[in-house]
Amino acid sequence: MPPDPCIFVDRATAGIALAQSLQQRHLHGSVIVLGLPRGGLPVAHEVARALSAPLDVLVVRKVGMPGQPELAIGAIAPGNIVVHEPGIAQELPQLAGVFERLVRVQRRELKRRERLYRGGLAPLDLKGRTAVLVDDGLATGCTMLAAVRAARSARAAAIVVAAPVASREAVEFIRREADSIIILQIPESLSAIGEWYEHFEQIDDSEVCRLLDLNRRARKGSPASNVPDRGPS
């Protein structure tokens, strides 16, 4: 860790700080904030509120190492997006045989979460808009890269990746494909995202749904021209 690290009180506080940095960038066009559930939603909620932007989820799923589920060997996102973690794939080529099975398991969970979080609503239409992809931190960057590719596939005009903290490796991994990346803290070494928060509680599905509903209710009074269309249901 750096000598005087900025430890965030919680995800909401981190989101407020991240929003201030984003506001200084003067993002162009119609902006949509997409939180990566579950931990990215409290951060994204504050970003969306500060930017007066609609909030949606971009559900991505980490593909974990058998026996070590916290170690990412890949990630998936909507639109049949699959990302392989290059280092792991090179070191452990024997995983290729089980990777597809692990992807199928995670795809079922991805679809379950999309149904639950949206409550029957279609995803917000990203075509021609600036998509701000938000998470609470980036360790390997694998899941965020899957999100970037999903947003690109949905024809977003520009993709901005934003997080309170990220490893140097993740930043370099994502910088190749995102249009812009905004990270508040890039430590020399990052072993766990939770180390950068005083309070880092688990976020459950009900909290994700609550935050999305808050944004939807707040946006109901906005002029129609400022509310992005949703895709076909």
Q: CATH number of the domain at 11-217, please? A: 3.40.50.2020
β-sheet with 61-65: strand ranges across: 61-65, 68-77, 81-84
Kindly report the average pLDDT of the chain as a whole number.
89
For the chain, the domains span: 11-217
> How many angstroms separate the CA atoms of 177 and 152, rounded?
9
Q: Is the pTM of this model over 0.85?
A: yes
- Cα 39 to its chain centre, rounded Å, is 9
pLDDT of 90 above 80: no
pLDDT, tens digit, for every residue of 171-187?
999 999 999 999 999 99
If phi > 0 it is left, if psi is from -120 to 50 it is alpha, else beta; for residue 99 that is alpha
> How many angstroms separate the CA atoms of 233 and 106, rounded?
23
